[in-house]
Amino acid sequence: MLRAYKYRIYPTDEQKVMLAKTFGCCRYVYNWALDMRETLYWKYHTSMSEYDMNALVRSELREHAP
């Protein structure tokens, strides 16, 4: 049997802004990484491991978009 719990939160205006910024950053990093994987696949017909992608995010993305 599967169960799910739903919780309703009532953030303040300051918290709403911070949540929007956090979700925006997460969306940017995800889309950047997805683009890198797709580009690698279509150019070289190979894939990138999760370990390599994490290393790439740490090195290149931090320089590109701090």
Over the chain, what is the mean pLDDT? 91
Give the residue with greater pLDDT, 35 vs 64: 35
Q: What is the pLDDT of residues 37-60, one digit of tens each?
A: 999 999 999 888 889 888 888 888
Percent composition of the chain: helix, strand, coil (DSSP 3-state, to 5): 70, 0, 30
CA gap 19, 30 in Å, rounded: 16
Q: Is the pLDDT of residue 66 over 70?
A: no
Residue 61: the pLDDT is 78
The model scores a pTM over 0.95: no
